[in-house]
Structure 1
Amino acid sequence: MTMRKIWMNRWFSVAYHYVKLIRDNENGEPFTFYGTHPNIDHVSLAASDVKEVEPEVEGEAYIAFCLDFCQRHGIDLFIPRLHMELIAQHLRRFEEIGTKVMVCGDLELLQNMMNKEKFYRSLEGKGIVEIPNYRVVQTADEFAKAYQELTEAGERVCFKPTEAEGGMGFRILKKDSDPLTDLYGWVTLETTYEEAHRTLSSVERFEDLMVMELLEGDEYSIDCLADAEGNLLAAVPRLKSEGRVYHLEYSKELLEISERIAENCRIPYAFNVQVKYNKGVPKLLEINPRMSGGLYITCLSGVNFPYLAVKSAFGEVFPKPNPKFGIKASYVEQAVTLSFTESEA
């Protein structure tokens, strides 16, 4: 059996789990893993067979680095996290050197998913998934108007940059604040409207902010697996409960949402749909066109999402997986050796 080579560029620490899951696949298929990161001691590299320092460059310089890395090491499959959009623009150059890339090749779709406003607009009115009530603002006056309209509609309000990963820039607007109580309390994502408006008023214009209704119900991450054409093969809703507890739940409503998204968007390989309930209605937060941070927990369903996504990227056909639901799960820290230098006793 041929030993194929997989490279993952600057990923989150959970890439450690992805590599383990792909390596420990049910078919005993062998792989050699390559990892790069600006910090050679980053834990995402700990499961790789070969690791190198990644340069902190952008644009064509980064593409040149990627192409050189793939050629030097004979990489069969490149699984990018950093600069996915840029890399997708140059897929042909990777194909010419014999490297497959596990990324969405539909540039318009990928660009939309990277920008919350564009993606919301692309889905509005199509009956695919409910979209939160929102406004996009660039000035303090627009922010004030959006806040007033949403509060008058009976909504609690939050905001987030239209282009941000994870929880970066997310804030919940609260009515009152006691600075001393806040100082002695836990650090939170809350701020007052007055504080936010005062900060935003310090500049004439700022980068796009999405001011939207706060979704106050249960939050689900739906991990999805598709083939190279975007045909959905499996989906598992994962509910984040108290603390570190997760539930892998069967939900007809959420599975139908993932099916509609897959049918209309045709996102290939592994992707993640985040929805949150408000007043009994599941509404879209965002879609991540990559493996999610909690995907290794979802794999307790019996579906090896990372490995099957790799098989899809290689164009291989496999039986449609049958995930198990009704699983309650959590996680613990794990000690990982980053390097070992033998010394004299």
Structure 2
Amino acid sequence: MTDRHLRILFTSAGRRVELTRCFRRAAESLGMRAQVHACDFVPELSAACMDADTAFAVPRCTDPTYVDHLLGYCAREGIDLLVPTIDTELEALAGAQALFAELGTRVHISDPETVAVVRDKQRTIEVLAAAGVPVPRTAPIEEVRAAPHEWRWPAFVKPVGGSASRGIGVLEGPQDIAATYPEPMLVQELLRGPEYTVNMYLDAEGRMLSAIPHRRLSVRGGEVEKGVTTRDARFTAIAEGVAAALPGARGVLCFQLIDDPQRGPCVFEINARFGGGYPLADHAGGRYAESLLASWAGLPECATQDWREDVTMVRYDAAVFRG
């Protein structure tokens, strides 16, 4: 245990107030005090930035100066841990881990090779399938356009590098395939059945310490709005397969699957970061944030399979005021 201050920076903080509070509670349980820093493109319009101890503006994460801004801030403020929250910043941060480490800042992120795989949904499917993880049939939209008779319709369409449900849709038939798209697109077989997110924690050696599935009862903007934790041995086995397929994965990841009545559970998405529904896993007793902080402090990682089933989360809109 230690009574030191731990400076944590949450990037692209947006509405992730509950995530930052999970870390505050985790720090307290370890005898630390978390000082929460947050940044966003317009921090005065970010609830998490307004709720943080200190906040600042950064360019968009696609800006080539984004990482330099973060490096400068971490150097000035002595940031101990940086926690990314959106997919589109992961590749740049993964590639700069060594630069942050020179400043004494640990970035919570998997290896660049793993991030590159999960940011490309075609490669994700290929890597998982090669490891024996059940996945839906997937192909570039150009291949489907060339041989539509080989597919069962309707089918699902989504961007190769999409995030937060951007650009997704259902194609009722080949006639719905557009002549052109603004970005590379994939077609997947349309799975039916209940949808789940599985939050998982991998230790510093890549071993899976915990996997906590929750059924997504309601989703808004790509994030779970209502969910309930569920134990299912099939999902735990799939999580082990995902970990084995991504040997460079570390810390917290989450993946989505649909339990199709004919195909069984199939994984269709991986996020190499804290997912929007992580607070449910935290409340159920997974201790992922605490495990990450313990690892930073040189203590044993404590993410656990001793979590509670049938824990329900129902989100609502709250307000943060200033001025």
TM-score, normalization: structure 1?
0.82
Worse overlay, 267-276 or 306-315: 306-315
Superposed displacement of residue 285, structure 1: 0.8
* Equivalenced residues, count: 309
Q: Secondary structure at the match of 2:186?
A: strand
Contact 1:77 1:100 in 2 (8 A): yes
Among 28, 32, 36, the alignment partner of 1:33 is 36
Please say if residues 221 and 239 of structure 1, whose CA atoms lie closer than 8 Å, have aligned partners that are also in contact.
yes
Distance across 1 between alignment mates of 2:295 and 2:279: 18
- CA shift for structure 1 position 252: 0.5
Contact 1:10–1:37 under 8 Å retained in 2: yes
What do you get for the CA RMSD once the two structures are aligned? 2.2
Q: Distance in 2 between matches of 1:254 and 1:57?
A: 33
- What is the letter of the counterpart of residue 277 of structure 1? D
Moved more, 62-71 or 39-48: 39-48
Deviation at 1:312, TM superposition (A): 3.1
**Unpaired segments ≥5 residues, structure 1:** 176-192, 341-345
- Which of 99, 102, 109 aligns to 2:108? It is 102
Query: Would the alpha carbon gap of residues 160 and 338 (structure 1) be closer, same or farther in structure 2, given more than 3 Å must change?
Result: same
Q: Give the unaligned 5+ runs of structure 2.
A: 220-224
Question: Matched residues in 2 for 1:319 and 1:233: separation?
Answer: 8
Q: TM-score, normalised by structure 2?
A: 0.88
Distance 1:76 1:224, change over 3 A: same
Q: Secondary structure at the match of 1:327?
A: coil
- Asked if structure 2 preserves the Cα contact closer than 8 Å seen for 1:109 and 1:265, the reply is yes
Equivalent position of 1:336 in the other structure: 319
For residue 228 of structure 1, what is the amino acid of its counterpart? A
Tell me the amino acid that sits aligned with residue 67 of structure 2: I
2:162 equivalent in structure 1 = 164
Give the drift of 1:143.
4.0
C-alpha separation in 1, matches of 2:8 and 2:183? 37
Deviates more, 1:241-250 or 1:271-280: 241-250
Cα pair distance change 1:335/1:208, threshold 3 Å = closer
For the 8 Å contact 2:213–2:235, the answer to whether it is kept is yes
Q: Distance in 1 between matches of 2:266 and 2:305?
A: 26
Task: Name the residue aligned to 2:229.
Answer: 248
After TM superposition, the structure 1 = structure 2 runs for residues 1-345 of structure 1, keeping only pairs within 5 Å, are: 1-13=3-15, 15-25=16-26, 26-39=29-42, 40-56=44-60, 58=62, 60-82=64-86, 83-104=89-110, 106-127=111-132, 129-138=133-142, 142-151=143-152, 155-174=153-172, 193-194=174-175, 196-197=176-177, 200-201=178-179, 203=180, 207-241=183-217, 245-266=226-247, 267-278=249-260, 279-340=262-323
CA distance in 2, matches of 1:37, 1:320: 29
Pick the structure with greater CA Rg. Answer: 1
Identity %: 21
1:184 corresponding residue in structure 2: none
Deviation string 1:67-94 (CA, Å, 9 cap, x unpaired) is 1010111111111235111111121111
Equivalent pair of 2:118/2:272 in contact (CA under 8 Å)? yes
Deviates more, 1:41-50 or 1:297-306: 297-306
Paired residue secondary structure (1:95): helix
Displacement of 1:23: 0.8
Cα pair 2:137 2:189 within 8 Å, conserved: yes
Counterparts of 1:275 and 1:41, CA distance in 2: 33
Could you tell me how far apart the structure 2 residues matched to 1:298 and 1:319 are?
A: 14
Instruction: Please tell me whether the aligned partners of residues 254 and 275 of structure 2 are also in contact (alpha carbons under 8 angstroms).
Output: yes
